[in-house]
Chain A
Amino acid sequence: MTAGTARGSRRDNDDGGPDELTAVQAALAAEHAAVYGYGVVGGRIAGDRRTEAQAAYDGHRARRDALRRVVRDLGGTPQAAAAAYELPFPVPDAAAAARLAAELEDRLAAVYADLVRAGGAVRRREAAAALREAAVRSVRWRGGGVAFPGLVERAAEAAPSGSASAAAGAL
Chain B
Amino acid sequence: MPKVAYARRRTLLAGAALGGAALLTGCSEDSGPDRAEHSSAAERLRKRSARDSTTLLARYDATLAAHPALESRLRPLRSEVARHAEAFGDERAAASPGGGASDGPAHDAGAPASGPSPHGARPSGPPVPEDERAARSALADAERRLADTRAKALIAAPPELARLLASVAAAGAVHAYLLAERAG
Contacts and interface: CB of A to CB of B under 8 A. Distances in A.
Interface of A: 1-5, 7-8, 11-12, 19, 22-23, 26, 29-30, 33, 36-37, 82-88, 103-104, 107, 109-114, 116-118, 121, 124-125, 127-129, 131-132, 134-136, 139-140, 144-154, 158, 161-162, 171
B167 A118 contact: no
Chain B interface mostly: helix
Given A116-B163, A161-B79, A7 B12 contact: no
A31 B146 CA distance: 28
A113 B166 contact: yes
B171 A23 contact: no
B177 A136 contact: yes
Contacts of A162: 76, 178
B70 interface: no
B80 A85 contact: no
A134 B173 CA distance: 10
Top 10 A-B residue pairs of the complex, sorted by shortest distance between their CB atoms: A82-B10, A135-B170, A161-B76, A147-B80, A117-B163, A128-B166, A85-B12, A116-B166, A117-B159, A149-B170
B158 A132 contact: no
A145 B175 CA distance: 8
A31 B170 CA distance: 18
B25 A37 contact: no
Contacts of A5: 32
Given A136-B177, A148-B87, A148-B171, A8 B9 contact: no
B154 interface: yes
Interface string B12-53: 111110111111011111001100100000000000000000
6 contacts: A128-B151, A136-B174, A145-B80, A150-B170, A161-B76, A162-B76
A82 B163 CA distance: 28
Contacts of B15: 26, 29-30, 33, 107, 110-111
A147 B85 CA distance: 11
Given A118-B159, A139-B174, A161-B76, A1 B12 contact: no
B71 interface: no
Interface residues of B, number: 53
B98 to A, nearest CB: 19
Contacts of A33: 10, 12-15
B9 A7 contact: no
A131 B167 contact: yes
A97 B85 CA distance: 34
B177 A1 contact: no
B62 interface: no
B26 to A, nearest CB: 7
Contacts of A2: 25
Contacts of A124: 154-155, 162, 166
A149 B166 CA distance: 9
Interface string B111-130: 00000000000000000000
